[in-house]
Amino acid sequence: MSDERVELGHAIISFVEPHPGYELAWNRWYERDHLIAAGTGAPFTMALQRWLATRRHKAVRVPHDNPIAQPPERGTFLAAMWIQKDHLVDQQAWVAEQMKMLAEQDRNFDQRDVLSTASWDYLGGALRDPDGVPPELALDRRYEGIVLVWLECRSGTSPQALSEALRDQVLPSILDQSPIAQALCFTPLPKADWWPKAAPEVPGVGTRVLVACFVECDPLDAWSEHFAELTSDLEAEGLCEVLLVAPFVASVPGVDPDLDEL
């Protein structure tokens, strides 16, 4: 028998803006076909969740000038998949073959801009509760919101060192008595050779950390109390620069978003 246990090791995270007028069509294609046919159907894919940023969520993104979403009103839809540790190559090999088949069947969607889509290595994280939801189940838990924090390591600091400092010195106090149940750290991997041309090159390989903060409410309901000072809290140790703090609310599978709110 194998002693390999279920363990989060990697993620695929996609940040997308459909072209004007195509929001509904893109959402339905992405949710009802693409993410299943080229994502959750793959071996070693553990879980999937999607979120969206309404006009109100985009309005509080900081800083306004950032290298992730320009202008900051772009980037409405977010998706993440968890991948079993040490099996990203296996998962991606299956997806690569599946993508060829989907292209032959004309099952792609070109009316969208990809702000960011990449594979990420999981670096660890912090849980608010001693026996809280494990990271492996964070997507299945269906937290109401998520706040993504893109960080750039200061010179001489590696992503691993930054994530360890965040986990041990910074995140516990941020999570304590807050609606943030857990904060998980990831670092980006280079764009795979087979990834479609629509996927941009991956910046920040070896220098960036993404912190995914899972929130038990709409992040806007806790923004002033728990997120307004997040940038200064994260930069206080002098280990990183905050590139973007962006809140999202969970989407409902099979339910079209309210286009008037986007």
For the cut 90, the answer to whether the pLDDT of residue 150 exceeds it is yes
pLDDT in tens, 14-67: 999 999 999 999 999 999 999 999 999 999 999 999 999 999 999 999 999 999
Domain that holds residue 221: 8-253
Mean pLDDT throughout 106-132?
Answer: 95
| Res 208: pLDDT | 97
Mean pLDDT throughout 82-106?
Answer: 95
Measure Cα distances from 107 to 37, 100, 101, 130 in Å: 10, 10, 9, 45
Going by C-beta distance under 8 Å and a sequence separation of 6 or more, which residues neighbour residue 138? 47, 82, 182, 184, 212, 214
Quick check: is 248 in a domain?
yes
For the cut 60, the answer to whether the pLDDT of residue 124 exceeds it is yes
- CATH code: domain of residue 86: 3.30.70
* Range from 140-144, 147-151, 154-158, 197-201 carrying the lowest mean pLDDT: 197-201
Q: What is the pTM of this model?
A: 0.95
Quick check: is 3 in a domain?
no
Quick check: is 258 in a domain?
no
Band of residue 192 on the pLDDT scale cut at 50, 70, 90: confident
For the cut 60, the answer to whether the pLDDT of residue 1 exceeds it is no
Quick check: is 214 in a domain?
yes
**Mean pLDDT score of the chain:** 94
Q: How many domains does the chain have?
A: 1
For the cut 80, the answer to whether the pLDDT of residue 198 exceeds it is no
Quick check: is 135 in a domain?
yes
In the chain, the percentage of residues whose pLDDT exceeds 90 is 91
Band of residue 250 on the pLDDT scale cut at 50, 70, 90: very high
> What is Dmax (Cα atoms) for the chain?
53
CA distance 74 to 180: 25
Q: Which residue has the higher pLDDT, 196 or 56?
A: 56
Quick check: is 243 in a domain?
yes
Q: Which residue has the higher pLDDT, 207 or 236?
A: 207
Quick check: is 1 in a domain?
no
CA distance 246 to 149: 7
Q: What residues pair up with 51 in beta bridges, in sequence order? A: 78, 250
